[in-house]
Structure 1
Amino acid sequence: MREPLSPEERAGRRVAVGELGGALRGLVDAAVRTEVPEAELESVAAAVRELTARLRAAGRGLHEIARVDDPETGERWYSPVYGPGSPVAPPLVATDSPDGRATGRVTVGKAHEGPPGLVHGGVVATLLDHVLARALRAAGRGGLTASLTVRYRRPVHLGVPLLLTAEMGGTDGRRTTAHARLVAEDTPEVVLAEAEGTFVALRTEQAADVFGATGRTVGAWTSRS
């Protein structure tokens, strides 16, 4: 396992990771929208394979946590939902507050299309799940998703600035509920989708078993009581 980075080193690496992630998201968008000739596709594929080999020169194991991450707060720099370093993240820009609320803003592109011109329903569910969990973690109620119920009210279009809001509900021991909704920023009165989630905080011994392969303490998903 690699030595952890100092705060200054981590901040610097996060900048570089974010720059690469942004470039890769641009590449993904271009790849799913391109209509260049086949010969050009083959040439680009060869160039991408060369770049892949450069990145694989030093990599992490499957269960190893990235040094730019903070598993105690739940910040994942390569999260497929919001990670600045992830080439597949929409990406969602999220904020939260200690009173158990979270907000997310995102414009979903072609890479996450389901029906033509619409956001894939699974992506909608993923975005809602994230803001629900983030609201709970902000209030010190970390946990894993136990159930998620999504109601799709209207089609969610690609290329439209979206707003997600989530609020923590009741608690019962290690179980906490939360509610979220998704709207277009320019028509916030029209609910496009909404969700209810139940999250269960892991006991210390459970967390040690579930996350043991990482070799790290993972506080964001563990019971704080």
Structure 2
Amino acid sequence: MAELLSGAAREERRDAVGDLGAAMRELVDACVRTEVDAAELAAVAAGARELAARLRVGGRGLLDVAAVDDPVAGERWYSPVYGPGSPVAPPLTVEAEGGGRVTARVTVPKAHEGPPGLTHGGTIATLLDHVLARALRSAGRGGLTATLTVTYRRPVRLGVEHLLVAEVGELDGRRSTARARIVAADDPDTVLAEGEGLFVALRPEAAASTFAGVSHAPEAWTARP
């Protein structure tokens, strides 16, 4: 079980985690775009397995929280949506939040391609789901996604900067709703996709069951006292 870090030690490790994550995203991008010959692919695969073995020497279990994370604040450094250490995150960057409203930016890479040149629909749904949850968190609410409805209006293109805006809607006990949209940064008036979500904060007993075995209690998804 990794001990959570704080202060200077956490910042130092976060810098290293972010640097490795950026390097791995470069590798992922190269992997999905390369047309080198089969012999070179085999050589690179062997090298990649050697690097993986080096990292696994200090690995953690599936339920263990990373030392650089802040579970209470919901900061997940290996999140597949925004995590600086994730090799598959686009990554999405939240630029402003507070009072139930979140604005974020993302440029989707080739690794998240659906139709040629376009973002996979599942990736669009994931991005919307995340900013909806972040909007709730900015309003001091917690919860897990209960329902998510996505309306795809126009293609979301790869390699183009996009903006996502999410706002909290109705609040009713442990239940919260939020709405979000995604637009191209250079055409903010044209909505490309919209998402509406219902989120339900977990009661303490449900949280204990849902996160049983997790090394550090994730309070960001539970009901507030």
- Which TM class, normalised by the smaller chain length? over 0.9
1:217 shift after superposition? 1.9
Unaligned 5+ segments in structure 1 are none
User: Does 1:211 pair with 2:211?
Assistant: yes
Contact 1:96–1:102 at 8 Å: present in 2 too?
A: yes
1:201–1:95 CA distance, 2 compared to 1 (3 A): farther
Amino acid at match of 1:198: L
1:212 shift after superposition? 2.0
Using the size of structure 1 for normalisation, the TM-score is: 0.98
Tell me which residue corresponds to 1:120: 120
Cα distance in 1, alignment partners of residues 109 and 22 from structure 2: 14
Contact 1:97–1:139 at 8 Å: present in 2 too?
A: no
1:6 shift after superposition? 3.2
Cα distance in 2, alignment partners of residues 77 and 191 from structure 1: 29
Tell me which residue corresponds to 1:161: 161
Tell me which residue corresponds to 1:22: 22
* Further displaced range: 161-170 or 206-215: 206-215
1:138 shift after superposition? 1.3
Amino acid at match of 1:120: H
Q: Output one character per residue of 1:57-79: Cα deviation in whole Å (capped at 9) or x when no partner.
A: 11000000001111101110000
1:96 shift after superposition? 4.3
Using the size of structure 2 for normalisation, the TM-score is: 0.98
1:200 shift after superposition? 0.3
Contact 2:2–2:66 at 8 Å: present in 1 too?
A: no
1:104 shift after superposition? 1.2
Tell me which residue corresponds to 2:109: 109
What percentage of residue pairs aligned between the two structures are identical? 67
The 5 Å alignment of 1:62-81 reads 62-81=62-81
1:208 shift after superposition? 1.2
Q: Output one character per residue of 1:98-131: Cα deviation in whole Å (capped at 9) or x when no partner.
A: 3101111010011000001100000000000000
RMSD: 0.9
Amino acid at match of 2:93: V
Structure 1 runs of 4+ with >4 Å offset: none
* Further displaced range: 155-164 or 89-98: 89-98
